[in-house]
Amino acid sequence: MSQTIILGIESSCDDTSAAVIADGLLLSNVIASQSVHEEYGGVVPELASRAHQQNIVPVVDTAIKRAGISKKDLSAIAFTRGPGLLGSLLVGTSFAKGMSLGLRVPIVDVNHLHGHVLSHFVRQQADDEVPEFPFLCLLISGGNSQIILVRDFNDMEVLGQTIDDAAGEAFDKCAKVMGLPYPGGPHIDRLAAQGDASRFKFAKPHIPGLDYSFSGLKTSFLYTLRDAVAADPDFVKNNMPDLAASLQRTIIDILLDKLSKAVKQTGVKTVAIGGGVSANSGVRAAVADFCKRKNLKAFIPQRAFTTDNAAMVAIAGYYKYLKGDFCRYDETPYARVSI
Protein backbone atom coordinates (compact mmCIF):
# COMPACT_ATOMS: atom_id res chain seq x y z
CA MET A 1 0.00 0.00 0.00
CA SER A 2 1.45 3.37 -1.01
CA GLN A 3 2.18 6.05 1.56
CA THR A 4 0.45 9.40 1.80
CA ILE A 5 3.33 11.89 1.63
CA ILE A 6 2.69 15.56 2.25
CA LEU A 7 5.08 18.46 1.67
CA GLY A 8 4.28 21.36 3.99
CA ILE A 9 5.32 24.96 3.26
CA GLU A 10 5.19 27.73 5.89
CA SER A 11 5.87 31.40 5.03
CA SER A 12 3.43 33.40 7.14
CA CYS A 13 5.93 35.73 8.82
CA ASP A 14 9.73 35.75 8.95
CA ASP A 15 10.61 32.03 8.90
CA THR A 16 10.72 30.03 5.67
CA SER A 17 10.07 26.39 6.43
CA ALA A 18 9.39 23.14 4.58
CA ALA A 19 8.63 19.70 6.02
CA VAL A 20 7.74 16.25 4.76
CA ILE A 21 5.30 13.91 6.53
CA ALA A 22 4.54 10.33 5.48
CA ASP A 23 1.37 8.77 6.93
CA GLY A 24 1.61 11.19 9.87
CA LEU A 25 5.29 10.53 10.62
CA LEU A 26 7.74 13.41 10.30
CA LEU A 27 10.57 12.77 7.85
CA SER A 28 12.09 16.26 7.75
CA ASN A 29 11.51 19.80 9.00
CA VAL A 30 13.76 22.59 7.70
CA ILE A 31 13.57 26.21 8.87
CA ALA A 32 15.45 29.25 7.56
CA SER A 33 15.18 32.15 10.01
CA GLN A 34 15.68 35.81 9.11
CA SER A 35 18.08 37.85 11.24
CA VAL A 36 17.65 40.99 9.12
CA HIS A 37 14.79 42.23 11.32
CA GLU A 38 16.75 42.38 14.58
CA GLU A 39 18.16 45.86 14.00
CA TYR A 40 14.63 47.23 13.41
CA GLY A 41 13.13 45.86 16.61
CA GLY A 42 10.41 43.97 14.73
CA VAL A 43 9.53 42.25 11.47
CA VAL A 44 9.69 44.45 8.36
CA PRO A 45 7.13 42.94 5.93
CA GLU A 46 8.91 43.91 2.70
CA LEU A 47 12.23 42.51 3.90
CA ALA A 48 10.48 39.34 5.07
CA SER A 49 8.88 38.64 1.67
CA ARG A 50 12.18 39.24 -0.15
CA ALA A 51 13.96 36.80 2.18
CA HIS A 52 11.26 34.19 1.57
CA GLN A 53 11.87 34.48 -2.17
CA GLN A 54 15.57 33.80 -1.59
CA ASN A 55 15.04 30.94 0.85
CA ILE A 56 12.07 28.95 -0.39
CA VAL A 57 13.75 26.95 -3.18
CA PRO A 58 16.76 25.74 -1.12
CA VAL A 59 14.57 25.09 1.93
CA VAL A 60 12.08 22.93 0.01
CA ASP A 61 14.89 21.14 -1.81
CA THR A 62 16.66 20.39 1.49
CA ALA A 63 13.46 19.13 3.13
CA ILE A 64 12.79 16.69 0.28
CA LYS A 65 16.39 15.43 0.27
CA ARG A 66 16.48 14.96 4.06
CA ALA A 67 13.23 13.03 3.87
CA GLY A 68 14.87 10.59 1.49
CA ILE A 69 12.13 10.91 -1.13
CA SER A 70 11.68 12.23 -4.64
CA LYS A 71 9.37 15.06 -5.65
CA LYS A 72 7.41 12.48 -7.65
CA ASP A 73 6.56 10.64 -4.40
CA LEU A 74 4.48 13.55 -3.07
CA SER A 75 0.75 13.00 -2.65
CA ALA A 76 -0.03 16.68 -2.09
CA ILE A 77 1.48 20.04 -1.14
CA ALA A 78 0.14 21.84 1.93
CA PHE A 79 0.81 25.54 2.40
CA THR A 80 -0.06 28.26 4.91
CA ARG A 81 -2.74 30.42 3.33
CA GLY A 82 -3.16 32.71 6.37
CA PRO A 83 -3.27 34.51 8.64
CA GLY A 84 0.05 36.32 8.33
CA LEU A 85 1.90 38.93 6.31
CA LEU A 86 0.37 39.05 2.84
CA GLY A 87 3.67 39.49 1.00
CA SER A 88 5.20 36.54 2.82
CA LEU A 89 2.13 34.37 2.32
CA LEU A 90 2.11 35.15 -1.40
CA VAL A 91 5.58 33.66 -1.77
CA GLY A 92 4.58 30.34 -0.19
CA THR A 93 1.19 30.24 -1.91
CA SER A 94 2.61 30.95 -5.35
CA PHE A 95 5.40 28.42 -4.93
CA ALA A 96 2.98 25.71 -3.77
CA LYS A 97 0.65 26.35 -6.72
CA GLY A 98 3.50 26.26 -9.24
CA MET A 99 4.99 23.08 -7.80
CA SER A 100 1.54 21.48 -7.68
CA LEU A 101 0.90 22.22 -11.34
CA GLY A 102 4.32 20.93 -12.32
CA LEU A 103 3.94 17.66 -10.40
CA ARG A 104 0.20 17.27 -11.06
CA VAL A 105 -0.62 16.78 -7.39
CA PRO A 106 -3.31 18.64 -5.37
CA ILE A 107 -2.69 21.53 -3.02
CA VAL A 108 -4.14 21.86 0.49
CA ASP A 109 -4.49 25.26 2.17
CA VAL A 110 -3.85 25.41 5.91
CA ASN A 111 -4.92 27.93 8.52
CA HIS A 112 -1.75 28.89 10.40
CA LEU A 113 -3.54 28.79 13.77
CA HIS A 114 -5.05 25.43 12.90
CA GLY A 115 -1.52 24.19 12.30
CA HIS A 116 -0.33 25.31 15.73
CA VAL A 117 -3.18 23.39 17.37
CA LEU A 118 -2.45 20.22 15.39
CA SER A 119 1.31 20.38 16.00
CA HIS A 120 0.63 17.92 18.83
CA PHE A 121 -0.17 15.29 16.22
CA VAL A 122 3.25 15.47 14.55
CA ARG A 123 4.75 12.08 15.35
CA GLN A 124 8.46 11.33 15.12
CA GLN A 125 7.91 7.73 16.25
CA ALA A 126 4.88 5.58 15.52
CA ASP A 127 4.09 5.20 19.24
CA ASP A 128 4.31 8.91 20.13
CA GLU A 129 1.38 9.94 22.34
CA VAL A 130 -1.10 12.43 20.90
CA PRO A 131 -4.14 14.13 22.50
CA GLU A 132 -7.54 12.47 22.54
CA PHE A 133 -10.58 14.49 21.50
CA PRO A 134 -11.99 16.69 22.84
CA PHE A 135 -9.24 18.84 24.36
CA LEU A 136 -8.59 22.48 25.13
CA CYS A 137 -5.70 24.24 23.42
CA LEU A 138 -4.24 27.45 24.82
CA LEU A 139 -2.80 29.04 21.68
CA ILE A 140 -0.38 31.82 22.63
CA SER A 141 1.85 33.65 20.17
CA GLY A 142 2.94 37.10 19.10
CA GLY A 143 -0.31 37.77 17.31
CA ASN A 144 -2.85 35.51 19.00
CA SER A 145 -3.99 34.47 22.46
CA GLN A 146 -6.89 32.04 22.22
CA ILE A 147 -8.58 29.24 24.12
CA ILE A 148 -9.83 26.68 21.61
CA LEU A 149 -12.09 23.68 22.13
CA VAL A 150 -10.80 21.01 19.74
CA ARG A 151 -13.43 18.36 18.98
CA ASP A 152 -11.72 16.84 15.94
CA PHE A 153 -8.96 17.56 13.42
CA ASN A 154 -11.22 19.95 11.52
CA ASP A 155 -13.74 20.87 14.22
CA MET A 156 -12.50 23.68 16.48
CA GLU A 157 -14.31 26.41 18.40
CA VAL A 158 -12.68 29.55 19.79
CA LEU A 159 -14.02 29.99 23.33
CA GLY A 160 -12.02 33.11 24.10
CA GLN A 161 -9.40 35.32 22.48
CA THR A 162 -7.56 38.59 22.95
CA ILE A 163 -9.56 41.75 22.41
CA ASP A 164 -6.40 43.82 21.89
CA ASP A 165 -2.78 42.72 22.23
CA ALA A 166 -1.60 39.12 22.47
CA ALA A 167 0.63 37.62 25.15
CA GLY A 168 3.61 37.54 22.80
CA GLU A 169 3.19 41.23 22.04
CA ALA A 170 3.18 41.99 25.76
CA PHE A 171 6.47 40.15 26.17
CA ASP A 172 8.14 41.74 23.15
CA LYS A 173 6.91 45.32 23.65
CA CYS A 174 7.72 45.38 27.36
CA ALA A 175 11.13 43.93 26.56
CA LYS A 176 11.70 46.73 24.05
CA VAL A 177 10.93 49.32 26.74
CA MET A 178 13.57 47.61 28.89
CA GLY A 179 16.10 48.01 26.09
CA LEU A 180 16.27 44.30 25.23
CA PRO A 181 16.86 43.09 21.65
CA TYR A 182 14.11 41.77 19.38
CA PRO A 183 12.51 39.31 19.81
CA GLY A 184 12.24 40.16 23.49
CA GLY A 185 10.31 37.13 24.74
CA PRO A 186 13.32 34.78 25.00
CA HIS A 187 15.34 37.48 26.82
CA ILE A 188 12.53 37.98 29.35
CA ASP A 189 12.41 34.21 29.85
CA ARG A 190 16.15 34.03 30.49
CA LEU A 191 16.20 36.97 32.91
CA ALA A 192 13.06 35.82 34.76
CA ALA A 193 14.88 32.68 35.91
CA GLN A 194 17.21 34.94 37.93
CA GLY A 195 14.60 37.31 39.37
CA ASP A 196 12.02 37.67 42.13
CA ALA A 197 8.53 37.41 40.60
CA SER A 198 6.89 38.99 43.66
CA ARG A 199 8.98 42.17 43.56
CA PHE A 200 6.71 44.24 41.28
CA LYS A 201 2.94 44.27 40.82
CA PHE A 202 1.41 45.08 37.45
CA ALA A 203 -2.22 45.59 36.45
CA LYS A 204 -4.36 42.60 35.53
CA PRO A 205 -7.44 42.97 33.32
CA HIS A 206 -11.04 42.36 34.40
CA ILE A 207 -12.53 41.14 31.13
CA PRO A 208 -15.74 39.08 31.36
CA GLY A 209 -15.95 35.61 29.89
CA LEU A 210 -12.93 33.86 28.44
CA ASP A 211 -11.48 36.73 26.38
CA TYR A 212 -8.00 38.10 27.05
CA SER A 213 -6.54 41.60 27.21
CA PHE A 214 -2.90 42.59 27.63
CA SER A 215 -2.95 46.30 26.74
CA GLY A 216 -3.54 47.36 30.35
CA LEU A 217 -0.59 45.30 31.51
CA LYS A 218 1.67 47.01 28.98
CA THR A 219 0.48 50.43 30.12
CA SER A 220 1.01 49.53 33.78
CA PHE A 221 4.51 48.25 33.00
CA LEU A 222 5.38 51.41 31.06
CA TYR A 223 4.18 53.74 33.83
CA THR A 224 6.08 51.77 36.47
CA LEU A 225 9.30 52.14 34.51
CA ARG A 226 8.69 55.78 33.64
CA ASP A 227 8.14 56.83 37.24
CA ALA A 228 11.04 54.73 38.56
CA VAL A 229 13.51 55.91 35.92
CA ALA A 230 12.61 59.53 36.69
CA ALA A 231 13.94 58.96 40.21
CA ASP A 232 16.78 56.59 39.26
CA PRO A 233 18.15 56.54 35.67
CA ASP A 234 19.76 53.14 36.33
CA PHE A 235 16.54 51.57 37.65
CA VAL A 236 15.95 49.24 34.69
CA LYS A 237 19.55 48.06 34.53
CA ASN A 238 19.68 47.39 38.28
CA ASN A 239 16.32 45.61 38.43
CA MET A 240 16.09 43.81 35.11
CA PRO A 241 15.75 40.20 36.43
CA ASP A 242 13.02 41.17 38.92
CA LEU A 243 11.16 43.18 36.28
CA ALA A 244 11.32 40.25 33.87
CA ALA A 245 10.20 37.73 36.49
CA SER A 246 7.31 39.91 37.66
CA LEU A 247 6.19 40.58 34.09
CA GLN A 248 6.33 36.90 33.19
CA ARG A 249 4.44 35.90 36.33
CA THR A 250 1.68 38.42 35.58
CA ILE A 251 1.24 37.20 32.01
CA ILE A 252 1.11 33.59 33.20
CA ASP A 253 -1.49 34.46 35.85
CA ILE A 254 -3.68 36.14 33.22
CA LEU A 255 -3.39 33.14 30.88
CA LEU A 256 -4.13 30.54 33.54
CA ASP A 257 -7.06 32.42 35.05
CA LYS A 258 -9.07 32.13 31.83
CA LEU A 259 -7.81 28.61 31.12
CA SER A 260 -9.06 27.50 34.54
CA LYS A 261 -12.48 28.99 33.78
CA ALA A 262 -12.57 27.20 30.40
CA VAL A 263 -11.78 23.85 32.05
CA LYS A 264 -14.65 24.35 34.51
CA GLN A 265 -17.08 25.39 31.77
CA THR A 266 -16.30 22.53 29.39
CA GLY A 267 -15.37 19.71 31.75
CA VAL A 268 -12.58 18.74 29.35
CA LYS A 269 -9.81 16.67 30.94
CA THR A 270 -6.98 17.33 28.46
CA VAL A 271 -5.11 20.62 27.96
CA ALA A 272 -2.54 21.43 25.28
CA ILE A 273 -0.58 24.60 24.57
CA GLY A 274 0.79 25.87 21.28
CA GLY A 275 2.29 28.90 19.55
CA GLY A 276 5.56 30.73 20.03
CA VAL A 277 4.93 31.73 23.66
CA SER A 278 4.51 28.05 24.57
CA ALA A 279 8.32 27.87 24.26
CA ASN A 280 8.59 30.09 27.36
CA SER A 281 9.94 27.97 30.22
CA GLY A 282 7.80 29.75 32.81
CA VAL A 283 4.63 29.19 30.80
CA ARG A 284 5.50 25.53 30.21
CA ALA A 285 6.17 24.87 33.89
CA ALA A 286 3.05 26.77 35.02
CA VAL A 287 0.73 24.89 32.63
CA ALA A 288 2.24 21.54 33.62
CA ASP A 289 1.78 22.39 37.31
CA PHE A 290 -1.77 23.63 36.70
CA CYS A 291 -2.72 20.38 34.96
CA LYS A 292 -1.13 18.30 37.69
CA ARG A 293 -3.09 20.14 40.41
CA LYS A 294 -6.35 19.85 38.44
CA ASN A 295 -5.74 16.20 37.52
CA LEU A 296 -5.68 17.03 33.81
CA LYS A 297 -3.68 15.47 31.02
CA ALA A 298 -1.13 18.02 29.73
CA PHE A 299 0.45 18.19 26.29
CA ILE A 300 3.46 20.51 26.17
CA PRO A 301 5.01 20.62 22.66
CA GLN A 302 8.66 20.23 21.86
CA ARG A 303 10.18 23.67 21.43
CA ALA A 304 10.92 22.87 17.77
CA PHE A 305 7.15 22.77 17.14
CA THR A 306 6.22 25.93 19.07
CA THR A 307 7.53 28.52 16.63
CA ASP A 308 6.37 28.80 13.00
CA ASN A 309 7.33 25.56 11.26
CA ALA A 310 6.18 23.53 8.28
CA ALA A 311 5.73 20.29 10.23
CA MET A 312 2.51 21.66 11.70
CA VAL A 313 1.39 22.77 8.22
CA ALA A 314 2.12 19.34 6.79
CA ILE A 315 0.20 17.49 9.53
CA ALA A 316 -2.80 19.82 9.21
CA GLY A 317 -2.66 19.34 5.44
CA TYR A 318 -2.41 15.57 5.92
CA TYR A 319 -5.74 15.37 7.75
CA LYS A 320 -7.42 17.68 5.21
CA TYR A 321 -6.01 15.51 2.40
CA LEU A 322 -7.53 12.38 3.95
CA LYS A 323 -10.92 14.12 3.77
CA GLY A 324 -10.36 15.16 0.15
CA ASP A 325 -10.48 18.81 1.17
CA PHE A 326 -8.31 20.37 -1.52
CA CYS A 327 -7.66 24.00 -2.47
CA ARG A 328 -8.59 25.64 -5.76
CA TYR A 329 -5.90 27.47 -7.70
CA ASP A 330 -7.85 30.73 -7.61
CA GLU A 331 -7.78 30.93 -3.79
CA THR A 332 -5.72 33.83 -2.41
CA PRO A 333 -3.91 34.37 0.92
CA TYR A 334 -5.59 36.18 3.79
CA ALA A 335 -4.00 38.37 6.44
CA ARG A 336 -6.49 37.91 9.28
CA VAL A 337 -8.92 35.19 10.25
CA SER A 338 -9.90 33.16 13.31
CA ILE A 339 -9.95 29.38 13.66
d(CA 24, CA 44) in angstroms, rounded, equals: 34
pLDDT at position 77: 98
Q: What is the pTM of this model?
A: 0.93
Distances (CA, A) of 69 to 19, 62, 72, 315: 12, 11, 8, 17
pLDDT at position 182: 83
**pLDDT > 60? residue 273:** yes
Predicted confidence (pLDDT) per residue in 279-324, tens digit: 999 999 999 999 999 999 999 999 999 988 999 999 999 999 999 9
pLDDT at position 46: 75
pLDDT tier, 338 (very low <50, low <70, confident <90, very high otherwise) = low
d(CA 230, CA 217) in angstroms, rounded, equals: 20
pLDDT at position 42: 67
pLDDT tier, 146 (very low <50, low <70, confident <90, very high otherwise) = very high
d(CA 275, CA 273) in angstroms, rounded, equals: 7
DSSP 261-304: HHHHHH---EEEEESGGGG-HHHHHHHHHHHHHTT-EEE---GG
| pLDDT, average across residues 242-271 | 98
pLDDT, the chain, mean: 94
Beta bridge partners of 135: 150
| pLDDT, average across residues 269-284 | 97
Predicted confidence (pLDDT) per residue in 49-65, tens digit: 898 899 999 999 999 99
Predicted confidence (pLDDT) per residue in 8-43, tens digit: 999 998 889 999 999 999 999 999 876 655 665 667
d(CA 79, CA 109) in angstroms, rounded, equals: 5
pLDDT at position 293: 97
CA-wise closest residue to 88 among 100, 80, 99? 80
**Which sign, positive or negative, has the C-alpha torsion 152, 258, 286, 290?**
negative
Residues recorded for the chain: 339
pLDDT at position 13: 85
pLDDT tier, 226 (very low <50, low <70, confident <90, very high otherwise) = very high
Using the 8-state DSSP alphabet, how is residue 181 labeled? P
Higher model confidence: residue 23 or residue 339?
A: 23
pLDDT tier, 194 (very low <50, low <70, confident <90, very high otherwise) = very high
